[in-house]
Amino acid sequence: MNQDPVSQNDQERLGELVTINIGPSHPAMHGTLRVVTVTDGETIVKAEPEIGYLHRGVEKLGESLTYHQFIPITDRLNYCSAITNNVSYEMAVEKLMGIEVPEKAQLVRVIMMELARIADHEVCVGILGVDLGAFTPFFYLIIQREEIYEIFEWYNGARLTNTFGRIGGLDADLPDDFEERWRELKPNLRKANEETEKLLTHNRIWMDRTIGVSAFSPEDALNWGFTGPCLRACGVKRDLRKDETYCMYDQFDFEVPVGKNGDVFDRYKVRMIEMEESIKIIDQAYKLYKEMPADAPLKARVPKVIKPPVGEVYSALESPNGELGFFVRSDGSNKAYRIKIRPPCYMIYQAFNDLVKGEMIADLIACISSLNVVAGELDR
Amino acid sequence: MAKPVVKKEYTLGERIYLLEILKGMALTWRHFVFNVKASFRPEPHTVPTCWQYPEDRTREISPIFRGLHMLCLDEKGREKCIACGTCAKTCPAHCITVKKGKRKEGEEDKYASKMYCASFDIDLLHCIFCGFCQEACPKEAIVLGREFELAQYTREECHLDKQKLLANYRKAKEEGKLRPPRKAVPVVKPPPKPEAGAPKTTEGKAGKPAVAGKAKKGQVEVKKAAEKAKGAGKAESGD
Amino acid sequence: MGEDVQAYNGGGWIATKLEWLINWGRKRSPWPLPYGTACCGIEMMCALASGYDMARFGAERPSFSPRQADVLIEAGTITLKMVPILKRIYEQMAAPKWVIAMGACACSGGVFRTYSTLQGIDKVIPVDVYIPGCPPRPEALLQALGMLIKKIEKSHPILHKRYSDFLVGY
Amino acid sequence: MDLRERVEKCLGPEGLMVAMTECRGDLSVEVPKTRLLDVMHLLKDTPDLEFDFLSDVLGVDNLAFYEKQKPKKKPEGEDTEAKKEKGPSPPRFEVIYLLLSLKRTERLQVKIRVAEDDMEVDSVTSIWKAANWPEREAFDMFGLRFKGHPNLKRLLMWDEFPAYPLRKDYPLEGRGEERHLVYGE
Amino acid sequence: MEGWVIAIIKVVFIWAWVLLIATVMTWVERRGAAMMQDRLGPNRAGPFGLFQPLADGIKLFTKEEVLPKKAHKVLWSLGPLLFALPAFSAYAVMPFGDKIVLGGKEIILQVSNVNIGFLYILAIGSLAVYGIVLGGWGSNNKFSILGGLRSTAQLISYEVPLGLALLAIVFVYGTFSLRDIALAQQGTFLGFLPNWGIFKQPLGFILFMVAIYAEANRVPFDLPEAESEIVAGYHTEYGSMELGLYLFGEYVNLVTLSSLIVVLYFGAWHIPYIDVSKFLGPVSWGIVSFLIFYLKVSFFLWLFVWVRWTIPRFRYDQVMGLGWKALIPLALFNLFITALFIQLAA
């Protein structure tokens, strides 16, 4: 946070300024965020986010659990898209051990990660709508998300915290009925997105509320460490799937949407388009998957007890929110010496004061939901 | 700092509010009519997107859903568990406690192996239903069932002891809700030695080069639970 | 409490009917305070939204103002930093109030046995229904709500001490 | 020219490089703590490096690591370490900066070692604002003090929290801090 | 004496009737919203969940009353009352049907036919804002006071276009009495258009609609209680029956405003091109006119629900901008045009 105290000019008027504490129990604060705002009427002079209300000591826990046992903990970071976290962590450990994951497993990972991305974006867009007073799109989107969860559930038995994959590959193949489910789901997803667009995108109230709100320049965004949709909304075409490709993403044909202003509207729009692109990716990945032989390996040969050699690696992937990285240092034992998670929204949220300064309280709400700050990965 | 924004030019339709609002209203109206019609369908699953849960159980729960735990019996009705404690070691939440017991003479019809669990406690409130215990279990004794209605009034009721675990199994068996056996995941074939071993030996530093395969018998298995479909021994020798 | 129940059993027809009516009102409109802090919050959202639609039970209006809520659905981890807030929210709720602890974290801290996590909210506030699971399915939340409704049915709002403060005149 | 040589060429002449290690393609370079800002400026502005994006800043407590590694044979990272700090206690903490060059999509870890008796580190918030919260977190978790940080106070734990929880000598389940706040009236 | 009895009967009747509508309205709102959102809505309490509002009422009534420590006691309890009462009082001059002839005595379906009904409605309508402001102020909560302030600014801003739109109606019909306006909407003009306010004042109708959405604090103008922004706005601190009064008062307000729309713009109890009263006896016509009136009202009530669950809400400054920059000039323009037409016609 840019912690410069309230400026001199403001100080003189301090009598008129009101401090409002928003959160942590506030409908728009997703449970655990808290922003202490200093407002002049409804205009925000200063907004200082305070985090840590969901700090569960995940990193410390990672030092006392084995590499394998830490997988379920990663579920609980960004719980909207748990699968991306799992894969990111597994990729880090695999990198540390030098394991090459079989191609088929990578394809399944891609399919699942993209499904998780859609689910995450759906929540984000839906909540953004709710926070701006449009309740209905949220419900349309959440039904489709429910279907996605059904796919997850039939894959390995959990809806949200999937504990997807294992170090070195997967623990299960795609279920047999995946194709059927996906064929059913795809048009519904598109329809729900279309309906959301219909209800929101061209509605002037929505446009007024979102266009130009908490706009951010690309230079600032990079300096603050933005990644993901929020960075792309600023007009920087950066996507780890393309730039530092992993999991065979280089074999898929998809667009990386970019915005212009970096405002709430662009973030919303980028997310909407990304969902569509994700659908495309899943189609392609599933086609490749089908071409693989049925008994193609899904798991690399991994020792029963995972003891990576001494060393440290950083591995990142493009989670729905941006660059999700895991720094893992091993001391040669079966427990990680240090695990550091680089959550994407952590970097984004620290620029919050700059994002909302000068806007109004209602915009603060819009901004916070458009950033898709997930407390689980923010506080860890 | 918010930067100046290139304001998008609104079209006339967008400018006057009403057009888009009417379009949106038409959309919600379609949903409304559809759902009102649907709500007169025979109970309980009326509106297709809404499961009226306590009555309407038409939503299928995945057969491999990770729900309530159970301790399995084999075909002869003997307890499979050998109290090896692997599940307890693997559990990230440390919610399983197993106590060993030694089978006495004349108890062969009760316990499948020489060792059995004298007590088996699971603290449901700590459990995170990750399924690692069933994956690690060499005998497929502990399994997460399909039961998901777990709410209780008190803490004590959320404590699963051995009797409850066995009862869960019997109940699931009665209802035909047993979990299907896990399918083994195909693993990369071992023979081409250089491929599997190469990155580890060359790049691996002083740390003990991670040995692929050749796991010692009885070692704590954290991985590859898939391989113990029927013959755990076979899978291990195959390694 | 025992005495209260005794007195209740001797209660007249009016008291019985009145209690029935009050209980009916309460059980048919348990407005939730969705206090979703972590993963369980997402499943709670599913329960509130179309798929399962908690509104069917009258739990339509998620009241984020504690004064207006009847059921505190505590879904998610409570950290030690959050404890004072949770406590305060509970204290701010008006008298007939119930708490559902949803998920392993809320019930017992779950997998997070760490320096910063509260090991179960029942150390701070009384809990009426526990839901194990991490996170529980939305159905489990609805089941818990059903159990809560049963609990409400059995309560004696007029003669029971806990709920009768504001109905002393009767 | 691969990254390793370029970094060497950039930092070497000025004596800014203490050691360089590579693990699975992740290059990490150790630099003297006192000249951290110079290094960062160099890395950011040198034309064929251009590490203009800061991914993350993290602290590491090496207390247990040293104890564990002593009897074993040393990987190269420890080698230099052993030479330098045999007599007194080795610097206990490390701060690792994960840099990224957007144009070249190359990553570099910059490492400094911090002794327990001198926990002051120059803050890089003047170069990258992104370092703001990560540095605060490192302060919160390890007690590393960042000089020049605009607002160095606890981030994840509450302000009065008496310990630094991610240090290796701090137990996982804590020491019962502020439990009175929980159980008492 | 007889007049008194009739008046009291009328008051009690319409009071109960409005209460009933408002109650049903809460149910309609919930079920309607649910149906639009692909879910079911409350369906447990009674058939189709119809008793849901009753259950809410009982629950709120028996809930503990919490008076915040630092709240201003008098203002705090005055707020809900001041909010709910004007909504009812406004109905005093609202015609809700033609007339019934009972035993040779003509009873008009209106509590009192005041010849300045218009002014009364405006005056009473602007009272409701005090309920919100006092409640917001008395709660001693920052969110409440924000809600209260928002509501003040909003209501005052939108009272102007509302008044101006109404003024145009007065120009057209040349009377301040609501009953006279209602009666004047029978028949057609220009040969084919029904003699309704909406056809004589199309622009005025739109302005009026927008203004009353703002007056009723409904989406898109629900800033005073904008849930995701300021928790629950002015009633954040209210718990038991005071909250019930606020919530209920809102629906009563909706009924009043919808009735106003119907009286002013939608031909009250008249059906275009057909004079139903000719086919019916005096008593049955009274009842039928009453039913027609409320059929129309229910459409507008439904519209409130429908719009609410379709669109997002405005921002505070946008509401002000819309009110002052768009609606008021338009209303003035409308007034000017109306005056011009009337002058030309004369």
In this structure, the strands spanning A311-319 and A322-330 are antiparallel
D58 chain-A contacts, CB cut-off 8 A: 327, 338, 340
Write out pLDDT tens, residues A78-133.
888 888 888 888 888 888 888 888 888 888 888 888 888 898 888 888 888 888 88
C134 chain-A contacts, CB cut-off 8 A: 161
Q: How far does the CA of residue A75 sit from the closest CA of chain B (Å)?
A: 10
- Tell me if E38 is assigned to some domain: no
Test E38 with B50 for CB contact under 8 angstroms: yes
Q: Is the pLDDT of residue E9 over 80?
A: yes
Q: How far does the CA of residue E163 sit from the closest CA of chain A (Å)?
A: 24
| CB-closest option in B17, B65, B188 to A205 | B17
Range of the domain at E96: 70-345
pLDDT computed for residue E266 by the predictor? 83
The H-or-E segment that residue B31 falls in is helix B18-38
Quote the number of domains for chain B: 1
Q: Cis before residue C135, ω within 30 degrees of 0?
A: yes
Segments of chain E assigned E as strands: 95-102, 105-110, 188-189, 193-194
- Determine contact: A129 vs chain C, CB below 8 A: no
C109 chain-B contacts, CB cut-off 8 A: 126
pLDDT computed for residue B218 by the predictor? 37
pLDDT computed for residue A45 by the predictor? 85
| C111, B92 Cβ separation under 8 angstroms | yes
* DSSP per-residue letters across C32-58: EEEEE-SHHHHHHHHHHSTTT-GGGGT
* Cβ–Cβ pairs < 8 A, chains B and D: 9
In chain D the first and final C-alpha atoms are separated, in Å, by: 66
For residue A61, give the 3-state DSSP assignment: helix
The subunits that touch chain D, with at least 3 C-beta pairs less than 8 Å apart, are A, B, C
pLDDT computed for residue A299 by the predictor? 83
- Determine contact: B205 vs chain D, CB below 8 A: yes
Nearest chain C Cα to E233, which residue?
C65
Q: How far does the CA of residue A220 sit from the closest CA of chain C (Å)?
A: 30
- Tell me if B197 is assigned to some domain: no
Ranges B156-160, C160-164, D68-72: which has the least confidence: C160-164
Model ipTM value: 0.84
Q: How far does the CA of residue B65 sit from the closest CA of chain C (Å)?
A: 10
| A232, B57 Cβ separation under 8 angstroms | no
Better pLDDT: B105 or D64: B105
Q: What does residue A179 show for φ and ψ, rounded to 5 degrees? A: -60, -45
- Tell me if E57 is assigned to some domain: no
Dig out the tokens for D72 from the structure.
């074993």
Nearest chain E Cα to C166, which residue?
E64
Do chains E and C touch by CB distance (3+ pairs < 8 Å)? yes
pLDDT computed for residue D74 by the predictor? 46
Segments of chain B assigned E as strands: 69-71, 96-102, 115-123, 142-144, 159-160
Ranges A9-13, D12-16, E3-7, E160-164: which has the least confidence: A9-13
Quote the number of domains for chain E: 1
Share in percent of chain C as helix, strand, coil (round to 5): 50, 10, 40
pLDDT band of residue D1 (cuts 50, 70, 90) is: low
Write out pLDDT tens, residues D146-177.
888 888 888 888 877 788 888 888 888 777 66
| E255, E169 Cβ separation under 8 angstroms | no
Test D74 with B206 for CB contact under 8 angstroms: yes
Mean pLDDT over C43-64 rounds to: 81
Q: Round to whole Å and give the CA distance between C29 and E243.
A: 14
Q: Which residues, including other chains, have CB under 8 Å from residue B56's CB and lie 6 or more apart?
A: B43, B44, B45
- Tell me if E167 is assigned to some domain: yes
Mean pLDDT, chain E, as a whole number?
Answer: 83
Q: Is the pLDDT of residue E188 over 50?
A: yes
Q: Round to whole Å and give the CA distance between B218 and B229.
A: 17
pLDDT band of residue C14 (cuts 50, 70, 90) is: confident
- Tell me if B30 is assigned to some domain: no
pLDDT computed for residue E181 by the predictor? 83
- Tell me if E91 is assigned to some domain: yes
Q: Round to whole Å and give the CA distance between C99 and C123.
A: 13
Q: Is the pLDDT of residue B208 over 80?
A: no
User: Which class for D145: exposed (0-12), middle (13-18), buried (19 or more C-beta within 10 A)?
Assistant: middle
Mean pLDDT, chain B, as a whole number?
Answer: 73
- Tell me if E118 is assigned to some domain: yes
**B 117-146 residues with CB below 8 A of A?**
128-132, 135, 144
- Determine contact: A338 vs chain D, CB below 8 A: yes
pLDDT computed for residue B191 by the predictor? 62
Which residues on adjacent β-strands are paired with residue E189? E193
User: Which class for E346: exposed (0-12), middle (13-18), buried (19 or more C-beta within 10 A)?
Assistant: exposed
A332 chain-D contacts, CB cut-off 8 A: 68, 72
Test D182 with C83 for CB contact under 8 angstroms: yes
- Tell me if E295 is assigned to some domain: yes
| CB-closest option in A172, A205, A310 to B185 | A172
Test B154 with C130 for CB contact under 8 angstroms: yes
Q: How far does the CA of residue C113 sit from the closest CA of chain D (Å)?
A: 6
In this structure, the strands spanning D93-101 and D53-61 are antiparallel
pLDDT band of residue B196 (cuts 50, 70, 90) is: very low
Mean pLDDT over B52-69 rounds to: 82
Compute the CA torsion angle B146, B148, B154, B156 (nearest 10 deg). Answer: 20
Which residues on adjacent β-strands are paired with residue B121? B97
Q: What is the CATH number of the domain that holds B161?
A: 3.30.70.3270
pLDDT computed for residue A175 by the predictor? 84
A96 chain-D contacts, CB cut-off 8 A: 23-24
pLDDT computed for residue A134 by the predictor? 83
Percent of chain D at pLDDT exceeding 90:
0
Residues belonging to chain D with any Cβ–Cβ distance to chain A shorter than 8 Å? 23-26, 28, 52-56, 58, 60-61, 64-65, 68-69, 72, 75, 96, 98, 102, 105, 107, 109, 128-130, 132-134, 141, 150-151, 154-158, 165-166, 170, 172
- Tell me if E58 is assigned to some domain: no
Bin C84: left if φ > 0, else alpha if -120 < ψ < 50, else beta.
alpha
Test B31 with E38 for CB contact under 8 angstroms: yes
Residue pointed to by tokens 């040995």: B211
Test A132 with E39 for CB contact under 8 angstroms: no
Percent of chain B at pLDDT exceeding 90:
0
- Tell me if E22 is assigned to some domain: no
In chain B the first and final C-alpha atoms are separated, in Å, by: 60
Dig out the tokens for B132 from the structure.
């690692």
Range of the domain at B83: 69-175
- Tell me if B192 is assigned to some domain: no
- Tell me if B99 is assigned to some domain: yes
Is the CA virtual torsion A72, A77, A79, A82 positive or negative?
Answer: negative
Which amino acid, B101?
G
Compute the CA torsion angle A56, A58, A63, A67 (nearest 10 deg). Answer: 140
Test B150 with C140 for CB contact under 8 angstroms: yes
Q: Round to whole Å and give the CA distance between C11 and C20.
A: 12
Q: Which residues, including other chains, have CB under 8 Å from residue B154's CB and lie 6 or more apart?
A: C130
Residue pointed to by tokens 């994956």: B135
Do chains D and E touch by CB distance (3+ pairs < 8 Å)? no
Mean pLDDT over B146-158 rounds to: 84
| CB-closest option in B2, B66, B92 to A73 | B92
In A132-177, alpha helices (H)? 136-156
Test D75 with B205 for CB contact under 8 angstroms: yes
